[in-house]
Structure 1
Amino acid sequence: MSGHAAAGGVEGSQAVLERIQVTVLPSTKTVPINPAASSDPEMRVETPLVKDENNGISNTQRVWTSLVAGAIAGAIAKTVIAPLDRTKINFQISKKPYSAKAATDFLVNSYQKDGLISLWRGNSATMVRIVPYAAIQFTSHEQWKRLLHVDSPETVTSGTKFLAGSLAGVTSQGLTYPLDLARARMAVTDKDEYKTLRQVFARIYRHEGILSFYRGFPATILGVIPYAGFSFFTFDTLKDLLAVYTVNSPGLTAMAALACGAAAGMVGQTSSYPFDIVRRRMQTSAVKGQHYRTVIKTTRQIYAEEGIMAFYKGLSMNWVKGPVAVGISFATYDVLKDTMRKVIR
């Protein structure tokens, strides 16, 4: 009698536990240890269902879709704002005060002197750089997020979000920096001085040496850490906040991505702009007859000769072109990446 009662109590407890498990833990399922033991309840174990974090695609597919989407997004964004970018660089490396009128005069004079295409001078070098740069940046950001578990609600923090963005920027900048230097040289010289990207590299190597391809690199890294970190952090944070309103509307999702990207661009550009001034001066010093050798000496010289506001020369133009470029880039990347992954899934 007591034996039956004990057995019934055990069975009742087991039934209660199973009901709790089914109700509270729907993410687990009962799997037999082996097929032969499937009929024996005591030979079964509880194993959690594995969440498909890749949404049905492999990590290799995630990488190549990110590479393609990032390359196209970067190319489109930079081409749109190329005339403003060239104008900004010219003011960054000169001692002339910046104003909206002066920027407009530069654009008009360039058009009258060399034609409409001159406004995109250096854009070929930009494309050679930005295609691999954007592809590497977006792809490495996704991979750094995966390694740092940024996409996991249990482990994500503001610090890891920022770190993933910063590491993505350092990775892409480190691999493509010589192309950025060549683009800056072409942007601030006449077309007779540097006609092709190949000529830029050949002349720099002949007259300045191999190390000159990384002139201004420390300032670039110091700038890219806050720029990429704040850009990706701001974009991801805002996109997550708006996700509840855009989840069922693809058109609204694209517009939200554009707005989030614009905000990310403004925050990122403002946080890193002084470093951008320093690196441009160092990159173009050889063709402008100036002597900027190290980050500290360049910073001191700019401050002594032009004052603190020199580090923000052209920032107002960046508030126009930066949000546009980053907004287009982030939104295009998101749309292309999601579209390709839906096709191959």
Structure 2
Amino acid sequence: MVEQQRVHFQGLLGATASLISTLAVQPLEVIKMVMIVKSNPSNYRLTSAYGSVEYILINEGLNGFYRGLRPALVRNMSAGFLYFQMLSYVTSENRNVSQDFLASFFARGLSNFITNPILLIETRAEVPGYQYTSLWKTASTIAKQEGVMSFFKGGLTCSIKDSLFAGIYYVVYRKMHEMLLPADSGFSPSVTFLSGMIAGLVGTCASHPFEILRARLQTNYYHDQMTIMQRFRSTYQNEGIYGFTKGLSPRLVRKPLANSISFLLVEHLNHVFYGTQFHF
């Protein structure tokens, strides 16, 4: 009975953890968006994190670092709830690397596809200069001007990017946790956090090219219809390999940190409420 209650409770723990991690790292998300969407040959300074920070401060002040916070909270809490809830249903002690990868891959992919309409609004709201008023007014404007189907713009790219990240993250996270902490050692916040940071760095580097395409697609950076492969080719032809690394530096901090905080909080709350050492 207790085990069943614990499984059903994971979504709520995931949403709570996502709330805290989003508040902690939102400025890094805004900096990343400026570097990906705003940088071009005429705005070369915006290709660096320092130049992007300076740009935000000059144009919008400190409040600019929390652009898009409300839709970000709604989306991340919803996605966190779905991800941890789905993951809790398929996790077990006796599973291999491929099962870990697929469980996290599909749980994150499905949760992010469901919340993609909110991500579209969040992405645009995070770009300085975009006239964001409220979640509902922005949604209404997009629906009228671009059609309902536009809410799933970039959905496939986003699902691939986040599924790939989540699959790699979860496999590395579990392996690092097992290597650094013997099974009978009890819960260790430092090991859990360190495992999450290392896993986040690996997953972020592997998935970042898809983040470039996703962010630009959802902000109408691409004005013509192209396949994912055509967008990859276009980015390479116009910007070279460097084009796939724009916004990587703040994302290398934000993504590992956000996921480490989320997993640490979920594991800690499981330890407090249920006495478990290592739930995920």
- Give yes or no for TM over 0.5: yes
Q: Distance in 2 between matches of 1:166 and 1:333?
A: 19
- Per-residue deviation, residues 207-257 of structure 1 (Å, max 9, x unmatched): 000110011111112212321101111111211223318724x4xx11111
What secondary structure does 1:93 align onto?
helix
Output the amino acid matched with 1:85.
E
What secondary structure does 2:229 align onto?
helix
Q: Distance in 1 between matches of 2:99 and 2:172?
A: 13
Q: Distance in 1 between matches of 2:247 and 2:184?
A: 35
Match of 2:2 in 1: 57
Give how far 1:100 is off. Answer: 8.9
Match of 1:172 in 2: 111
Contact 1:91/1:314, CA 8 A, preserved across alignment: yes
Tell me: higher relative CO, structure 1 or 2? Use CA pairs within 8 A at least 6 residues apart.
Answer: 2
Give how far 1:101 is off. Answer: 8.2
1:85-164 matches, cutoff 5 A: 85-96=29-40, 102-145=48-91, 150-152=92-94, 156-164=95-103
Unaligned runs of 5+ in 1: 1-55
Match of 2:197 in 1: 262
Q: Distance in 1 between matches of 2:48 and 2:246?
A: 12
Give how far 1:274 is off. Answer: 0.7
Give how far 1:293 is off. Answer: 4.4
1:242-281 matches, cutoff 5 A: 242-244=180-182, 247-248=185-186, 250=187, 253-281=188-216
Structure 2 CA distance for partners of 1:117 and 1:189, relative to 1, 3 Å? closer
Q: Distance in 1 between matches of 2:34 and 2:153?
A: 18
Match of 1:214 in 2: 152
Match of 1:304 in 2: 237
Give how far 1:289 is off. Answer: 7.3
Give how far 1:206 is off. Answer: 0.4
Q: Distance in 1 between matches of 2:180 and 2:222?
A: 50
Q: Distance in 2 between matches of 1:282 and 1:100?
A: 19
Structure 2 CA distance for partners of 1:67 and 1:258, relative to 1, 3 Å? same
Match of 1:187 in 2: 126
What secondary structure does 1:244 align onto?
coil
Match of 2:19 in 1: 75
Aligned residue pairs, count: 274
Contact 1:282/1:298, CA 8 A, preserved across alignment: no
Output the amino acid matched with 1:211.
M
Give how far 1:183 is off. Answer: 0.5
Unaligned runs of 5+ in 2: none
Structure 2 CA distance for partners of 1:214 and 1:184, relative to 1, 3 Å? same
Q: Distance in 1 between matches of 2:47 and 2:242?
A: 18
Q: Distance in 2 between matches of 1:264 and 1:179?
A: 26
| Structure 1, 161-170 or 99-108: larger mean CA deviation | 99-108
Contact 2:10/2:84, CA 8 A, preserved across alignment: yes
Match of 2:217 in 1: 282
Contact 1:141/1:167, CA 8 A, preserved across alignment: no
Q: Normalising to structure 2: TM-score of the pair?
A: 0.89
Q: Please state if 1:224 is matched with 2:162.
A: yes
Q: Distance in 1 between matches of 2:135 and 2:50?
A: 27
Match of 1:27 in 2: none
Output the amino acid matched with 1:339.
V
Q: Distance in 2 between matches of 1:194 and 1:84?
A: 19
Give how far 1:81 is off. Answer: 1.2
Q: Distance in 1 between matches of 2:40 and 2:228?
A: 21
Contact 2:21/2:261, CA 8 A, preserved across alignment: yes
- Per-residue deviation, residues 241-283 of structure 1 (Å, max 9, x unmatched): 23318724x4xx1111110111111111111111111111111
Q: Distance in 2 between matches of 1:324 and 1:263?
A: 10
Cα RMSD for the two superposed structures: 2.3
